[in-house]
Chain A
Amino acid sequence: MDKQMTATEVVAQLKDGMTIGIGGWGPRRKPMALVREILRSDLKDLTLVSYGGADVGMLCAAGKVKKVVFAFVSLDFIPLEPYFRQARQGGDLEVMEIDEGMMLLGLRAAAWGLPFMPTEVGLGTDIIAQNPDIKVIDSPYDDKEWVAMPALHLDAALIHVDKADKRGVCQIAGPDHYMDDMYARAASKTYVSCDELVDTDYFKDPAVARQVFWERSATSGVVHIPGGAHPSSCSPSYGFDVAHFKAYTASAKAEGGFQGYCDQFLGESEEQYQQNVGGLQAIKSIELPTY
């Protein structure tokens, strides 16, 4: 089976109003090339589910987003994501703000075909008070109340990985696969961009096979985009682009705003984008962060 697609073909399969999960974490291993292809499209009214970074900020700034399901939206070294902040302070964004672990539970419930997962997380906080759609229930086994974290069903998941074969076997060689396996499993369709396209034989090494976190049956499409996580990181290949994130953040306070950022960088294709940010070699030579 050959699941190779182009980024344009992926976005053509997405529809207005869909719920889209985005893998990665803050400024780390985000499928930014796929996000940029959405920026170039006329998609709208999306619900995003994300451990959010510039993926959420950019899509909000471009007016693509109706609702965000989030525990945080942050660039880490720049704690507050500038465009998500604008969108929230503008007052028009619908939100479901939850705990980081609740998001994992919601994705698991969707992956496992359950309506909800019980947890005590959220009790006693405004997470429950501000989310009328999250119910607190009694237990059949004890006298406590519990949060019933609802399944977070995704129409599509977008994920970036280090390496994949054309059948959708995906390797994440970086130090953390985050919740990407749960995004892949919670989604009706999962589209993966990869830095490198490899032959199936590549996975014969058991140490490599251990870095595959979901079966290929959970991958719907594979897009080969070297450098496709930029400006987020794809450890161990490249770090996140500190200078680019600073310019992105500064653009939120500049006259042209997000349109100015797009005019400078987005381009009409990923090739143009990469030229605008200094080329693939420049992306691949960005140093990994030290924590």
Chain B
Amino acid sequence: MTTATQYTLAELCIVAASKAFEKDGEALATGIGVIPRLAASLAMKTSNTDLMMTDSESFMLSEPNPIGKRGDDFVQANESWMGFSRIFDNVWSGKRHAMLGPTQIDKYGQSNTSALGGSYQQPKVMMLGARGFPGNSISHPNSFFVPSHNTRVFVDGECDFVSSIGYNPARLPKGHALDDVKIGLMITDLCVLDFGGPDHQVRLVSLHPGITVEQVQESTGFDVHVPEAVPVTTAPTPEQLAIIAEMDPHNQRAYQIKDNPAGDRS
């Protein structure tokens, strides 16, 4: 397999993130945000053609839609209706994998989309609210995309508000096991992480070209398990880059990571 020599960090992240959906089989892939959506689209067009996807509004598609304005003659490939009321029938069946970008993530994989600082009654910063995170996290696999890997996102201690369940023994519901929680990959601008360390500890899966273990550890508010050999994140192939370009004709991916750096920073 030939890898491209010229690619952006965003494109590297899209390819790395697409791996999260490879083994999902016939499941709804929901990528919230440009890079997760392109990752799901790439997976659906290459590594897992059984994936399902929506138009981010109310229809299931047999082919992912390109992002942004499409030509007047564009006809999207609807295959069924999937309005918000029906989404929960899918979510609670478990046949879904979502990839989202929470504001905080802790060592347990608990995440926060709701509020920062202050008290719950009077948060310093009110954000979106818990949205569908509580239900997603207990019902189906979830992965995270973090465009700026730092200790404000990967916090020391627990998230200010826990919107989604993680591998925290202290919060484990009666009759549930920690292994029931399914968190896939965490793709950041520095590396790929998962929860495959001892006792579900966050583990370094691969480093993006030019990034060191020390950089990752310094930018993370908790200890990361580092295996003896940590590979470099695989570069995109020309074929993958072509599909990404086709799915993102307005190059919105260029605006997702600060300054749109090159993929290889060595």
Contacts and interface: CB of A to CB of B under 8 A. Distances in A.
Interface string B179-214: 000000000000000000000000000000000000
B10 interface: no
8 contacts: A89-B124, A100-B88, A101-B92, A123-B138, A123-B173, A124-B162, A125-B137, A175-B83
Contacts of A145: 173-175
Contacts of B115: 88
A120 B93 CA distance: 12
B100 to A, nearest CB: 12
Interface string A167-199: 000000001111101100000000000000000
B123 A89 contact: yes
Interface of B: 55-59, 65, 68-70, 83-85, 88, 91-92, 110, 114-115, 118-135, 137-139, 161-166, 168, 171-176
A25 to B, nearest CB: 6
Given A72-B129, A74-B128, A121-B139, A99 B58 contact: no
A142 B173 CA distance: 13
Contacts of A119: 135
Given A125-B165, A178-B83, A88 B126 contact: yes
Contacts of A178: 83-85
A97 B129 contact: yes
A137 to B, nearest CB: 11
Give the interface SS of chain A, mostly helix, strand, loop or mixed.
Answer: loop
B133 A99 contact: yes
A72 B138 contact: no
Given A79-B128, A88-B122, A101-B132, 17 more contacts: A71-B129, A72-B131, A74-B128, A99-B134, A100-B84, A104-B88, A120-B173, A124-B162, A124-B171, A124-B172, A125-B162, A126-B161, A126-B162, A126-B163, A127-B163, A175-B59, A175-B83
Contacts of A99: 130-135
A122 B124 contact: no
Nearest to B86: A176
Interface of A: 25, 51, 70-74, 79-80, 84-85, 88-91, 97-102, 104, 119-127, 129-130, 136, 142-145, 175-179, 181-182, 290-291
Contacts of B161: 126, 130
A90 B120 CA distance: 11
Contacts, number: 147
A123 B165 contact: yes
Given A99-B132, A144-B173, A177-B85, A125 B164 contact: yes
Contacts of A291: 55-57, 65
B134 A127 contact: yes
A90 B131 contact: no
A175 B76 CA distance: 14
A193 B132 CA distance: 28
Given A126-B162, A177-B85, A121 B138 contact: yes
A161 B82 CA distance: 19
A144 B176 CA distance: 7
Contacts of A120: 138-139, 173
Contacts of A89: 118, 122-126
Nearest to B108: A124
B58 A144 contact: no
B130 A125 contact: yes
Top-6 shortest CB links A-B: A91-B122, A144-B175, A124-B165, A88-B126, A291-B56, A72-B129
A127 B130 contact: yes
A192 B178 CA distance: 46
Contact of B83 (A125, A130, A177, A290): A177
A69 to B, nearest CB: 11
